[in-house]
Amino acid sequence: MVNNPYEVLGVSPNATDEEIKTAYRNLAKKYHPDNYADSPLADVASEKMKEVNEAYDTIMSTRRTGSGANSGGYYNTNPSGSSKYYDVRTMIKNGRVADAEQILDGVPPERRDAEWNFLKGTVLLKKGWTQEAYNCFQTACNMDPSNMEYRQALNYAQSRRSGAYGGYNAGMPQQNVGGCSGCDICTGLCCADTCCECMGGDLIPCC
Amino acid sequence: MFGYIRPQKPEMLIKDFDAYKAAYCSLCRQLGKSYGFAASLILSYDSTFFAILSMSVKGECNSYKKGRCKVNPTKKCDYCSTRSISLENAAALSAAAFYYKLEDEIADGSLLRRILLKPVRLFAGRWRKKLIKYGYRSYDLIFENMLKEQLALESEGCKSIDRAAEPTAKALSQLAGMLSDDEAQRRVLESFGYYLGKWVYLMDAADDINDDIKSGCFNPFVLYFSLDENYDRNILKQINGIINEAASMLLNAYNLIELKGNQRILENIVTLGISSMQKYVLFDKRTEKSKNKNKI
């Protein structure tokens, strides 16, 4: 697929380097593999990411002939290693989510360890069952607090919950849109008074 | 559906708002044209969103002209003057969704409600027949299955939030997937629809918590957190977190949709609109009960 690199980045051909960099950074943030960790759409996202990287590289190298720009290097790291659930992990990787789930469900409850909970959470997340996946990741982390793989999965879920990536962030005070609170007015008056006094005048006679 | 998917008007450009309103009015007219004047009344923000998304995915280019509003003849609006598949689809979606929502209410409403809803059902039944005649049997089936699965899991008292949301999520996933013939795009749209459906279902459930505690109707949050009349309001923050997860997943999928127009409107809805609706339903509405829903 040969697309116009400027169209891919959504900028006009006479955009400045700075504008192109900003557009590139925004898109790279959007399609970043971290956003699609454990998502069945990871392949589509990485395809988009590749397109954006290529477009950016093309533009930059044609603009500065000779020195091809480095694209920042967003690569998906796939945590792997020896595991007794090797086959389940392979299935998940190959998109055979239902098979993986069937094997996991066959494990008797007393033998369900941290890794089991992590993998079950991964499978649930692929199905879109975000709430139960979250519970599984939490259990996995409680059972094995030192494992970075489980911790990362839980962290992703927690940051999705925070509202930072969509939805509503209940913890953050909303910006006052165009408003002016009583506090703002008082501060403003105090400032104005001080300024006036500097110049020899006085806005608020009592202070 | 429920009317939760709407734009945040103050953050829109005026030309975008005009375009949104034109789609809204055109869908109203399309409902009237396809299903009769009374059908204009089931116009919703959700189906308007679906129409705009569909236009954008299909790259539909419509022309608009001024006309008089039939519901309020003193008003003049922009109407789509060409035949639009997206509007026809959205009208069919509204009719099918309305028919099955009504069935649901009649199935578990009180006797008085049932008697009041009966005449409405006459209309809805007629619309459903037309819908099938127009070739939208697939839409009808999607909602029929959704209702069947929903009633089944409600009657068994399902305690899983994810499973309770599954029928609605699946229905919207199928509907959105139909918008594109391209394999990758279909998957992206299905995922988008899935989480949008989940978001809508969870929002509706969160909205009904207080009523459902009183009436004892099925509500996944009430069952999951074992809520009673004086529940701890901090639970709402947890519920907001659960809904945020659906919102962030739908946004992820949205970012991969190849849109051919109306990007700013759609982006406004899936980011700001969704966020402010969550804020309103979960927090503001409970503190200022008398405040009306913000009208467009």
CA distance B46 to chain A (A): 17
State yes or no: pLDDT of B265 exceeds 80: yes
Chain A residues with CB under 8 Å of B184 CB are: 44, 47
Instruction: Chunk chain A into consecutive blocks of 10 residues (it has 207) and report each block's average pLDDT, rounded to whole numbers.
Output: 77 84 87 84 88 86 58 40 78 88 89 92 92 93 91 91 86 51 54 60 62
pLDDT surpasses 90 at B201? yes
pLDDT at A57: 84
Backbone angles phi, psi at A60, to 5 degrees: -65, -40
What are the tens digits of pLDDT across the range B110-154? Answer: 788 888 888 888 889 999 999 899 989 999 999 999 999 999 999
- One CATH from 1.10.1750.10, 3.30.1490.20, 1.10.600.10, 3.40.50.720 for B9-287: 1.10.600.10
Complex ipTM above 0.90?
A: no
User: What is the pLDDT, as a whole number, of residue A124?
Assistant: 93
Give the mean pLDDT of B188-216.
Answer: 93
B10, B194, A1, A46: CA torsion to nearest 10 = 90
Q: To the nearest 10°, the Cα dihedral for B229, B235, B237, B240?
A: -80
**A115 in Cβ contact with A85 (< 8 Å):** yes
Query: Does residue B27 surpass a pLDDT of 50?
Result: yes
Confidence of residue B293 (pLDDT cuts 50, 70, 90): very low
pLDDT value for B80:
86
Identify all chain A residues contacting B243, using CB atoms and an 8 Å cutoff.
Answer: 167-168
Residue A138 gets the label, from left (phi > 0), alpha (psi -120 to 50) or beta, of alpha
pLDDT at A72: 40
Asked if B184 and B231 count as a contact pair (C-beta separation under 8 A), the reply is no
- Kindly report the pTM of this predicted structure: 0.78
Confidence of residue B104 (pLDDT cuts 50, 70, 90): confident
The residue whose two tokens read 């002209």 is B65
pLDDT at A82: 56
> Smallest CA–CA separation between A18 and chain B, in Å?
23
A40, A166, A169 member nearest B271 (Cβ): A166
Residue B1 CA from chain centroid, whole number: 4
Mutate to test the interface with B, among A3, A26, A41 (most CBs of B within 10 A): A41
Query: Where are the extended beta strands (E) located within chain B?
Result: 64-68, 76-80
Answer yes or no: are the C-beta atoms of A85 and A116 closer than 8 Å.
yes
Q: Given the DSSP bridges, would you call strands B76-80 and B64-68 parallel, antiparallel or unpaired?
A: antiparallel
- Backbone phi, psi, residue B79, to 5°: -125, 150
pLDDT at position B144: 94
